[in-house]
């Protein structure tokens, strides 16, 4: 298995829970993070070696990432595992899967790349690389079938793992927050490049909020290996804002908060499953943004909005991800309880749709593909 970032580590760990329950003696190894390791996964390389996003950023690390992919492919061809599961990270995994498939090793890709949103040409590459795709969203298998790719809708494992009723009181107690505190969860991403580009406007917005909303409590879950970088950003952009850094604990922060200011990505779906209103922000190297926006097929980038097919929560991307705009969005949510209740109801419907006992559905598919 290969997962390339914190969100993939989480998805893979939830899948591994089902794998362990069904096949206790099965050995899993490859590239993964701490949540996968907690399920008995053996990481040959740490996940942070792949956690890079954006064309310019990837080019900067290309030689090192390619060397890892080549070495991993060589090892898998020698050891001939029962099968390979690439968890998201399509730019890394699809090329590796193509090589393994050509050599007769069965390959599964877990999470259909967002070919319905951008880079639709990947569907052809998936047909060459994947024996099967495990899809998180119900509309994806039919889309892939049109390109000759076998796929199964398995639901989203987070929808099974996150309770339908978020544990707000218990999470607040665990984080030392009061029942009546007004709490903002700040989630600027889990990659170094995200912290470099997204944390500054997020933290500058928090510095403004410290003046306009002085009672607001702010918690910031920090992904493994990024604490020093986050601390430098905090000192530079919001030194007196009282932001509390957490080691991980993003789910506790989402369960405890009233609202989250959050980077676009899987975390936005987690926030929706916790029924939390949000402001989605994202920024990257300007050249990467120019390349990416030309390949977009729809107006939304946040998963909650994509699933709803409308802007149920605001998105502030690239030049619109400005501290004064983010501050205004946060205050508008905090001052409108009726709007917060409406979006929570929409997110509850979304949660039910994606709650499909993913571990059972996924392991049924793996049993067929890998003949386990």
Q: 93 with 206, same domain?
A: no
160 falls within a domain: no
Percent share of the chain, pLDDT over 70: 93
H-type alpha helices, the chain: 6-22, 34-37, 55-79, 90-102, 122-129, 140-145, 157-161, 168-174, 192-212, 227-237, 250-256, 266-273, 286-293, 303-308, 323-334, 337-354, 358-370
Q: What is the pLDDT of residue 266?
A: 85
Domain residues for the domain of 108 are 2-155+356-370
Q: What is the pLDDT of residue 362?
A: 95
Under-50 pLDDT residues of the chain: 56
Q: 198 with 276, same domain?
A: yes
Q: 269 with 296, same domain?
A: yes
Nearest Cα residue to 11 out of 118, 119, 108, 81? 108
Q: 194 with 74, same domain?
A: no
**312 within 8 A of 346, measured Cβ to Cβ:** yes
Q: What is the pLDDT of residue 224?
A: 85
Q: 286 with 191, same domain?
A: yes
- In angstroms, the CA 17 to CA 3 distance is 15
Structure confidence by residue, pLDDT tens digits, 220-267: 999 888 999 999 999 999 999 999 999 989 999 999 999 999 999 889
Structure-token pair, residue 328: 């205004």
Q: What is the pLDDT of residue 327?
A: 98
Q: 63 with 131, same domain?
A: yes
State the CB neighbour count (10 A cutoff) for residue 99.
20
Q: What is the pLDDT of residue 191?
A: 85
């Amino acid at each position: 298995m290969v997962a390339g970032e914190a969100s993939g580590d989480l998805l893979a760990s939830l899948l591994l829970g089902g794998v362990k329950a069904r096949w206790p003696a099965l050995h899993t190894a490859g590239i993964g993070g701490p949540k996968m390791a907690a399920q008995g996964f053996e990481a040959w390389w740490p996940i942070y070696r792949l956690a890079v996003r954006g064309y310019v950023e990837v080019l900067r690390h290309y030689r090192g990432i390619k060397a890892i992919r080549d070495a991993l492919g060589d090892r898998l061809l020698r050891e001939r595992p029962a099968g390979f599961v690439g968890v998201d990270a399509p730019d890394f995994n699809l090329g590796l899967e193509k090589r393994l498939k050509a050599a007769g090793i069965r390959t599964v890709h877990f999470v259909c790349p967002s070919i319905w949103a951008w880079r639709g040409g990947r569907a052809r590459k998936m047909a060459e690389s994947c024996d099967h795709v495990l899809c998180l969203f119900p509309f994806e298998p039919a889309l892939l079938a049109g390109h000759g790719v076998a796929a199964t809708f398995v639901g989203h494992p987070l929808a099974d793992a996150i309770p339908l009723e978020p544990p707000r009181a218990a999470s607040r107690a665990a984080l030392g927050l009061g029942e009546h505190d007004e709490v903002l969860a700040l989630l600027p991403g889990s990659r170094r490049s995200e912290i470099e580009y997204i944390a500054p406007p997020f933290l500058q917005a928090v510095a403004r909020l410290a003046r306009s909303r002085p009672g607001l409590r702010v918690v910031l879950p920090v992904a493994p290996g990024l604490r020093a970088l986050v601390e430098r950003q905090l000192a530079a952009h919001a030194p007196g804002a009282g932001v509390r850094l957490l080691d991980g604990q993003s789910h506790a922060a989402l369960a405890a908060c009233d609202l989250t200011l959050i980077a676009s990505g899987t975390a936005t779906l987690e926030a929706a499953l916790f029924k939390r209103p949000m402001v989605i922000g994202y920024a990257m190297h300007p050249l990467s943004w120019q390349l990416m926006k030309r390949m977009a097929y729809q107006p939304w980038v946040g998963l909650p909005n994509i699933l709803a097919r409308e802007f149920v929560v605001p998105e502030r991307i690239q030049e619109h991800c400005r501290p004064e705009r983010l501050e205004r969005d946060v205050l508008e949510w905090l001052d409108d309880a009726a709007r917060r209740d409406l979006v929570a109801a929409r997110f509850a419907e979304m949660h039910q749709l994606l709650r499909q006992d993913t571990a059972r559905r996924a392991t049924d598919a793996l049993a067929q593909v890998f003949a386990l």
